[in-house]
Structure 1
């Protein structure tokens, strides 16, 4: 009962905040209004630790404002800067330009977001899930010809790259695994369609279940030699 009252109070407070926040800025000349909307959008994207969706940005600009045109103008303004606005995971995010990657690495400064450090085998498992999802742990084990452990799946889930998908219709109805929005964001993709075309990779002999299995065996051999 107390939780319900708290939720209602929070909704009322949010509604009051929305009424007080001037989205339309009708008292400003058109040019200044557009400029303020641009600054608001940039501020929201800059402050967010995740890609910001169109729906989120629509809360801070007028109802007739074109967010796409705002983004175009912001990108133009940032054309001479070492960072840019990119479309990833269904939203927009600030990203450093690749030309400055060496400088950022050399600085050893802590960076936000990005891809977590994965072992070679974890990276291969993640790639397999990307292409064959939704896929069970058992199916992944068949792909690699060796068990894909719960620890490997747990590690990829822990860094936010994998989530549970629908249960498989196979006996026992095991969980399947799918990639997440964080996976798309970390690897600079807007959607799974941005993955390299698997048929083209298979035609070129670059990725198949057998090549993944062979790569996994090679990793095992290197690990054994290093012991």
Structure 2
């Protein structure tokens, strides 16, 4: 195929790139698809059109923290789960409480987490959150001992289908569903 000449062809290129990508694509990534520079406003317009084109289908185009991706609509996930019936990860109350504290109060130190929870943070809890790429060290607090500051990652937002931390549910709702988070 030659370089896309019209809007329909450009939209098709975007569609195939988004459908075949294993990761969300940023606007910068999508601009690389075209030899001629495409304005971001035009790109967003095409993405809006794609979203509408897929409105009545089984997949939907969503924007998450790191870009755009196609994903199955929520009503189809129980069926898709049958393809991979392996047990999904369940997280302990300690892991979910720690994650909630980091998500809602970031950046925080281990000491901050311990003060809020009232118990020591198990190193395995922090390791589990870092291995999942939901939490990372973002710096050190400028106090004696320079403790590490922890914050959530873009991967955390992507896994929760969020564009930003502002979209987090109310803290009470997050804690209620703490053991149901099966990502």
Tell me the TM-score normalised to structure 2 length: 0.82
Cα distance in 2 between the residues matched to 1:69 and 1:128:
37
Question: Higher helix fraction: Structure 1 or Structure 2?
Answer: 1
Instruction: Tell me which residue corresponds to 2:151.
Output: 178
How many residues end up aligned between the 2 structures?
172
How far has the Cα of 1:116 moved from its partner? Answer: 5.6
Superposed counterparts of 1:26-105, under 5 Å: 28=5, 33-61=6-34, 62-65=36-39, 66-105=42-81
User: CA 1:120/1:45 → structure 2, altered by over 3 Å: closer, same or farther?
Assistant: farther
How far has the Cα of 1:36 moved from its partner? Answer: 2.0
1:125 equivalent in alignment to 2:98: yes
Instruction: Tell me which residue corresponds to 1:224.
Output: none
Which runs of no fewer than 5 residues in structure 2 stay unpaired?
Answer: none
Cα distance in 2 between the residues matched to 1:48 and 1:110:
24
Q: Give the conservation status (yes or no) of the 8 Å contact 1:37–1:60.
A: no
User: CA 1:49/1:118 → structure 2, altered by over 3 Å: closer, same or farther?
Assistant: farther
1:149 equivalent in alignment to 2:125: no
Cα distance in 1 between the residues matched to 2:38 and 2:133:
36
Superposition RMSD in Å = 2.6
Which runs of no fewer than 5 residues in structure 1 stay unpaired?
Answer: 1-20, 220-227
Q: Give the conservation status (yes or no) of the 8 Å contact 1:116–1:159.
A: no
Cα distance in 2 between the residues matched to 1:39 and 1:94:
14
Cα distance in 2 between the residues matched to 1:110 and 1:53:
31
State the structure with more CA Rg.
Answer: 1
